[in-house]
Chain A
Amino acid sequence: MEILSGWGRRPRSAAHVMRPADRDLLRRAVSDGAVIPRGLGRSYGDAAQLSGGTVLDLTGLDHFRIESGQVVAAGGASLADIIDASVPQGWFLPATPGTRHVTVGGAVAADVHGKNHHRDGSLGSHVDEISLLTAGGEEVRALPGHGSFSATVGGMGLTGVVLETTFRLLPVETAWMRVDFVQRPDLPSVMEALAEADRRSRYSVAWLDMLPGRRGRGVVQAGDHASVDELPSRHRSRPLRRAPMRGLPAPSLPAGAVPAATGLFNRLYFSRSGQGVIEPMDTFFYPLDRLAGWNRLYGSSGFLQYQFAVPSGAEATLMTVAEALTGASTPVSLAVLKRFGPGGAGILSFPIEGWTLSADMALGDPDLAEILDRCDRLVAEAGGRVYLAKDARLRPELVPVMYPRLDEWREEKARIDPTGRFRSDLSHRLGLF
């Protein structure tokens, strides 16, 4: 057995890991016992692990092809590989999370969103077809509107293996972004600036400083794909060439150093300013991908990312939760605020129209559990939810409150996987079915 954990490095559990090299081996692997698919392990919590069961590492099944603005990709293909091939042809992802090191299967299972959610929705809304290998060994063709489709998008890998996904790409003229940076002194003014940025730009996000005494000051980034004539002349001849990103290995810091490092990072980050700054798309979309294995910064006791969404109108709850997080004895090392457009195609899709805040925090302090439990209750009362792809700690009784369509999903789950073979530590912990 191998020990597995999510990106947050806790909790850990051991499973038999199978790495099927082709579809026949994969079909055999799902033919009995309890299984869960796994991609690049970027879910923060325990979604892609299964104590004592079988974990299917699908990264070996990574073929894809790009044709007429669409990509047909195996579940194990990574978004990084896809954009390496698609950007030179003038196509970008319709939605991308903050790292490109995720697989298509994982991205569908979490129904990932990006900085353009307010305009373009989550990945699921751009998917035309999913080919799903179910527990019965059957290949199901799931199309938008089908129960198997809406249970799989955002379904955390619990309906079967995503063999192949077809999704539409976004045409781009260049591999560059045109970005406006707006600094604001506190959370309410950041929220205002973010709302304004949404009206102008395809992409928007705010980095918040949630250290005590900083009042949630932040920098709003509003970006759009740059056109060729917006580029500096030296890049115009090869506009689709991506600037190479120099990767740095993350240093291993003693646990106590994370807050200091955070303060420094925030100071650097918040000093960024300017209007119409032209920057490489990788810098804009994947700033943390430069720091390989940055999750190790937190040491072996790990960290978590608390990400929740609340509907528009629940701004007061957002502020209260932000204050509670800032007041915790564990400092918030990174915080990102974003506005969501209407919800996604999946029954358990995370986005709801409103706001989402994510906060990275080191694990280890028992008081943090209580603070986050309280935040969960506030979020649930406001009609919000936490993101299952990030979760490693929610208590099961709140799941049906946060995801009121859970029963509908359970019906689909029971139809597609009647004996409940696809399961995970997450599904056990939260009693998802």
Chain B
Amino acid sequence: MMLKKIFLLLGLIFSSYLMATPKSQSLEWGGLPALWVEDSSVPLFQIKVQFYDGSLFDDKESAGYTASMFSMLEKGTPKFDQKKIAQQLDFLGASISGSASFFTSSLSISGMTKDAPELVKFACHLFNDANFSKEELDKWVTKNVSQFKNLGSSPQDAARRSSLLSFYAQTPLENPTSGRISTLEKMNSEKLILVRDYFKQKVFKKVYILGGKELLDLSKTFAESCGWKNSKESVDRRKLVKDWSETKRKAKFILVPIPETNQANIWLGRVLNAKNLTSYHQSYMDFARNYLSGGFTSKLLRELRVKRGLVYSAFGTIMGDSEVGRSLIITSTRNEKLVETLKTIEGILKEVQSKKLSPLEFKQIQAKIKGKFLFDLESSSDYLSKLAELDYQGLNISEISDYPKNVDQIQSDKLKELFIYAFSDDKIKTVIVGDPSLKSELEKIGDVEIIPLETFQ
């Protein structure tokens, strides 16, 4: 009865939410398709040009080049050196920055609305004329190499990198976005200019705008300054991801030793084949994530922290992008409790793979994710990000209003299948970053492959 009331309540709140969402409009802006979310609440603006390709453009030898190119956009042009650029942006309290992930990359401009015309022109200049001078490139490479060499200083950061690289090995994601010491050291200005020109000329682009109506007047300024256009031949990475097949893991556990560490960092997961995820709506992933983690009522925290006092935090998710999915569980525990923690996680996964959730628990999580969806859209900036995400997935805005309906349609059996696929016992990799002495503990419950941390630098 109580849950029924909650469901009715959430339905009404969703209707209310839709009435209150900021005004959004699809349009052509600066010669590119664009989406504008109106927000005049503060005299600030954000413009993001999204490129539909990312570090998957890099090959094994050029890993890190795309991300470096985007990150170095403020490092100089023939007209402005990095210092002048920094002074100009800081003087306006503004930011122009680039970033890249595997599938997409972006150029972001933000600042005060009154400065938008100047900043739009400046951003176009920084991208189109970036020269990646040898001096700046040397500094960039030295800084990144230095940080890679210090990877072991934080076992948590070391666990993140070594685990993801282990999961991604022999999948389309095997070349890390941030590169490796060996690839960065071979980078030169000419190679980065080629990457810049590829993104400038060949990659499909879309613009996302947040701010007042006056930003729409900058369309011509942007078109004239950037001169970017899409064509039928524009590259869209979503259409290029190759089919791949999963390879067998060498051992149940991978131990990355860092001596004298008093905590074992655990990362467990795998890369999922997108074709096996097509039948699952996003709401299934949201359900899985909120069942596993996100508060003390979640399964991982209940079992690992509340009941057993083994860990401080725990996170679990199943993510399904349009190309490649991922399953993950992350936690850390004191060395002497590593085996107990791993066995507890194994028990949790076996339970969700073999038993259906009770109808009560199922309904509780459905209610939770419906409500959470609203919190995730609380600010205009969150709302624009959601619209951009839907765009990229080829979905339209009705996904927002349809969300409660899609959550109601989640099937218990199908969810169980998703857990079985995402965390299948013979395919998941479990990476432990911690003291070398953990090897003997791990060997009690499975075979162990030792990989030195340097492998991941």
A, B: real partners: no
Residue positions of B touching A, CB distance < 8 A: none
Residue positions of A touching B, CB distance < 8 A: none
